[in-house]
Structure 1
Amino acid sequence: MTSLSVKVDDVHVDYEIFSERRAGLRQRLVGGKGSGRRVIKAVNGVSFEAFRGDAIGLLGSNGSGKSTLLRAIAGLVEPTSGEILVSHEPKILGVGGALMLDATGLKNIKLGCLAMGMTKDELAEKVDEIVEFTGLGEAINRPFKTYSSGMRARLLFSISVSIQPEILLVDEALAVGDRNFKDKARVKIESLLANAGTLFLVSHSTGEIERLCNRGLWLENGKILADGPIADVIAEYGVDT
């Protein structure tokens, strides 16, 4: 029997926003009618189960709740209500993240890998490989604050793919760097996918989702509109968008 890896049960994620035009600071602190307070339901009653071997592509327009759902599964966003159960600690792969501005790229690699749970012995074995993967050359010894946005994204990506997870969450990570680095990134992600128990992938490219995933979830306005074989969900998504 295929083992359950993620269970999402009636999960809601709400955000409160305030209109600066309609409410002053005192009104916003007090709240109530006329305060300009509005609740955005980023995830609205989502339920599903994922099993080992599932590679799930998340489809939907901008603001549909895909990235918020991923972050909730990763434990980075606390649901307003509902429950998320996981068999292993999920790892979210993307190009966002914070590193030390004054530290060198190499120092940030070491600190980042240790923070993700890599042991010192594992780090000693992998650090040269990670440095080479970044393609930053001598710039690896320069402070992170001197890097361009593209260089920063490459360093962050290289750190984030250094550990193989059981549950892998990928949020637009294939959109990083120049063509050569994108090709390397795609090969690396495919290797991670081949060994991960369960994958969730957010990408603007339905072609990449169809190639890498076997199941699709289509979200709009925080709700699941379709869940099934990836080709079927992409076909339905394409007709209605």
Structure 2
Amino acid sequence: MAVAEKGLEKDAAAEPAQGGERRPTVIADDVHIVYRVYGGARGRGSATAALSRILRRKPGGNVREVHAVKGVTFTAYRGEAIGLIGSNGSGKSTLLRAIAGLLPVERGRVYTDGQPSLLGVNAALMNDLTGERNVILGGLAMGMTKTQIEERYQDIVDFSGINEKGDFISLPMRTYSSGMAARLRFSIAAAKDHDVLMIDEALATGDKRFQKRSEARIRELRKEAGTVFLVSHNNKSIRDTCNRVLWLEHGELRMDGPTDEVLKEYEEFTRK
């Protein structure tokens, strides 16, 4: 089994080098990702049989393989914002998890410049802690210093907008709505400059004002030499934010190109 590899030579330059050379941040080379689902025998006694196999450390009889990503190849460059689109179950989130190093690849390779950061709507914050404590812990988890967190703390809270209707930042996360929690997650992640930031559906959770702030922040990250991947079913967010789109369908890369061209083909496909 091939393991995702990391560590392209770092370069802080945001603009292309002399001669028009662009600096790659992510290279996916014929990437295949396979899930294996293990199940016991059907019928009477299946639970007992499964327990027996566990105790004897023997594998189950039924193994189902799901080929989630099939031979995907692309190169992402500094300064790009890349949208990932496709039907549900097409492999978009799975591909991002592999780029982040959270999933092994079955075949092929993933090379990245620096450590990619994956932000999903379900990214874990601690529900029993206040929003304030989660901002601190989230910043530390991303590698920010305490001084950096203190300097950016108020900007994070203001960006999230969760205090617009009360002092929610001092309340436990379990009291937040799903939208408030998602906005705070994005705000924490967006406070740091990333080499590669991957956002999974986070922009779909906020109101229009928050979406506009988020899209503006993504454009700032691009200018600061980062690369942004955005998974979304909101074509308007993709069109307003991304200059390039990867279209995955049934695990295969169906199209890779400028945003307007790919979205036009995708929208015709979904109308059929």
Deviations 1:179-233 (A, max 9, x none): 4333333333333333343222211122322332222221111111122222222
1:125 corresponds to 2:154: no
Q: Mark the CA change 1:17 to 1:230 in structure 2 (over 3 Å): closer, same or farther.
A: same
Q: 2:158 and 2:245 mapped to 1: Cα distance?
A: 34
Alignment partner, residue 144 of structure 1: 173
1:46 corresponds to 2:72? yes
Cα 1:180–1:200 shift into 2, 3 Å: closer
Residues 211 and 134 of structure 1: is their aligned pair in 2 closer, same or farther, counting only changes over 3 Å?
closer
Task: Report the equivalent of 1:73.
Answer: 99
Out of 20, 26, 30, the residue aligned to residue 6 of structure 1 is: 26
Task: Quote the offset at 1:170 in angstroms.
Answer: 2.0
Q: Which of these two proteins has the greater Rg computed from alpha carbons? A: 2
Kept after mapping to 1: 8 A contact 2:139/2:149: yes
- After alignment, is 5-14 or 135-144 more displaced? 135-144
* TM-score (normalised: structure 1): 0.88
- 1:187 alignment counterpart: 216
RMSD: 2.3
> Is the Cα contact below 8 Å between 2:119 and 2:197 reproduced in 1?
yes
SS of residue in 2 equivalent to 1:124 = helix
Are residues 1:83 and 2:112 paired? no
Q: How many Å separate the matches in 1 of 2:135 and 2:36?
A: 36
Q: CA deviation at 1:102?
A: 2.2
Distance 1:237 1:80, change over 3 A: same
1:128 shift after superposition: 1.7
Per the alignment, residue 176 of structure 1 pairs with 205
> Which runs of structure 2 are paired with 1:141-220 in the superposition (5 Å)?
141-220=170-249
Q: Distance in 2 between matches of 1:4 and 1:237?
A: 26
Determine which of 4, 13, 16 is the counterpart of 2:36.
16
CA contact (8 A) 1:12 1:41 kept: yes
Structure 1: stretches of 5+ with no match in the other structure: none
Asked if residue 239 in structure 1 is aligned to residue 265 in structure 2, the reply is: no
CA distance in 2, matches of 1:216, 1:154: 24
> What is the SS of the residue equivalent to 1:11?
strand
Question: In the aligned structure 1, how far is the partner of 2:211 from the partner of 2:260?
Answer: 25
Unmatched 5+ residue regions in structure 2?
1-20
1:46 to partner: Cα distance:
1.3
- CA shift, 1:38, in A, is 1.1
Deviation at 1:91, TM superposition (A): 1.8
8 Å CA contact 1:168–1:196 kept in 2: the answer is: no
Correspondence 1:95 to 2:124: no
**Contact 1:51 1:198 (8 Å CA) reproduced:** yes
Whole-Å Cα distance in 1 between the matches of residues 258 and 214 of structure 2?
26
Of the three residues 81, 84, 91, the one matched with 1:55 is: 81
* Residues in 2 aligned to 1:217 and 1:21: alpha-carbon distance in whole angstroms: 40
TM-score, normalising length: structure 2: 0.78
- Identify the range of structure 1 (110-119 vs 136-145) with the bigger mean alpha-carbon deviation: 136-145
Instruction: Give how far 1:61 is off.
Output: 0.6
Return the alpha-carbon distance in structure 2 between the equivalents of residues 216 and 110 of structure 1. 34
Opposite residue 11 of structure 1, the aligned amino acid is V
What residue identity is the alignment partner of 1:224? L
8 Å CA contact 1:168–1:193 kept in 2: the answer is: no
Alpha carbons 1:102, 1:144 under 8 Å: kept: yes
